[in-house]
Structure 1
């Protein structure tokens, strides 16, 4: 750590072990990004991301990279919510997620929520590259402010590509200094928890789920490929998770 903030990258590589399971030849964390393998189920390897320090703080540059090889199955979660906080170093913090899934591989990316604490300034960038026969479940949940607290500034971009073609590319900015209207009726409408699921499955090529509402503040939207996007708003993180879990149960 320096006055400019922490620089750290965590790396995961999952491979088919040839015996019906998944090996993890690369499981390497740095600084505040610690990785732990936990007991899996069947052919799936499971990894837990454990925050060893507070953050991300102002000026930090953190990244997580995961590669899933042909025939491998990987599930990644986190031990607790990530809290973006203001730090001694001035300037925004950055958190990058880079995911790559090969033909026949499967990745379930299911971390806990990201909380944007008051006074923080965080830019999150998630880029996912999939082969044509890859499978993906990607969950992203963001909570604007802790209890009784105004949020920090949060900018989030999610890009998903399949076989080199874009399935999804979207960006949202919230909090102080974000473009006007982010909290208005056309965007968050006063809600403080927002989340999304991206589910990609080859069988969706012939049986793509239809667009439909999920209650008052959530919806399923088919994408331009064998994929669907679920977006949801909620007053709190608990209700948001419930909505996304129910949606996922209906898609898998």
Structure 2
């Protein structure tokens, strides 16, 4: 039982496997507290799951975890029904949101949640860890919005770690808002923008034919990573423009 005043602890778990008939089965689909998982209509071999927030949060002191295990040959598209809003809570201290994604050889995962909004007075640490096999496929989108309309942001720190066959090919952190290291809002980082996003694309063919580092439109850049991966980083004045930039970047990578 969670001690009084310690915040909410919740873990949602998904296991996806090949059903042997050309589709994907979900032997494990466990919701917990404010993290509700709902299966939706899929397409072909791909199964779709929506993460629905059953209550507000994460608040100060909360610790949310989402775990997805994609087995060999399975295909899963995982999204969220609405934006996640980090809010201040009665409990002092930071909130935590951990995402742990594992994709076996021949598996495919699209992790496409809606934006994470850092409301004024909040303090949230987000960590996303991904472990892939040599022939895994991944499309991952992260979008973070600093403050609601007319509001100063809370403190937000995020870390993204990607490992392919046990080898770390990406490990980066960004901290924004009050108390973050100086310069986060300067020309070398966000340059005054209030929306920042990343698109991580992993495909086996990138190992033989890496993408070319280039600027994509206004405010986005794509770089190849060591191994079969490419990373797009983008900044924009608001969430709507950020999504447009990332969608255009994904279309360019799919060309």
Matched, 1:40 2:42: yes
Structure 2 equivalent of residue 30 of structure 1? 32
Tell me the SS of whatever aligns to 1:177. coil
Which of the numbers 7, 10, 14 marks the counterpart of 1:8?
Answer: 10
Structure 1 equivalent of residue 90 of structure 2? 88
Structure 2 equivalent of residue 187 of structure 1? 189
Query: What's the CA shift string for 1:79-134, capped at 9, x where partnerless?
Result: 00000000011100000000000000000000000000000000000000001110
The alpha-carbon deviation at position 146 of structure 1 amounts to: 0.1
Structure 1 equivalent of residue 170 of structure 2? 168
The alpha-carbon deviation at position 173 of structure 1 amounts to: 0.3
Question: Which aligned runs of 4 or more in structure 1 are off by greater than 3 angstroms?
Answer: none
The alpha-carbon deviation at position 216 of structure 1 amounts to: 2.9
In the alignment, the residues of structure 1 paired with residue 47 and residue 248 of structure 2 have an alpha-carbon distance, to the nearest angstrom, of 24
Structure 2 equivalent of residue 212 of structure 1? 214
Which of the numbers 54, 59, 62 marks the counterpart of 2:61?
Answer: 59
The alpha-carbon deviation at position 206 of structure 1 amounts to: 1.8
In the alignment, the residues of structure 2 paired with residue 205 and residue 61 of structure 1 have an alpha-carbon distance, to the nearest angstrom, of 36
Structure 2 equivalent of residue 131 of structure 1? 133
Unpaired runs of at least 5, structure 2? none
Report the TM-score, using the length of structure 2 for normalisation: 0.98
Structure 2 equivalent of residue 50 of structure 1? 52
In the alignment, the residues of structure 2 paired with residue 215 and residue 148 of structure 1 have an alpha-carbon distance, to the nearest angstrom, of 27
Tell me the SS of whatever aligns to 1:27. strand
Which deviates the most, 145-154 or 211-220?
211-220
Superposition RMSD in Å: 0.7
Query: What's the CA shift string for 1:124-157, capped at 9, x where partnerless?
Result: 0000000111000010000000000000000000
In the alignment, the residues of structure 1 paired with residue 218 and residue 137 of structure 2 have an alpha-carbon distance, to the nearest angstrom, of 29
In the alignment, the residues of structure 2 paired with residue 230 and residue 211 of structure 1 have an alpha-carbon distance, to the nearest angstrom, of 10
Tell me the SS of whatever aligns to 1:239. helix
Tell me the SS of whatever aligns to 1:46. strand
In the alignment, the residues of structure 2 paired with residue 179 and residue 188 of structure 1 have an alpha-carbon distance, to the nearest angstrom, of 13
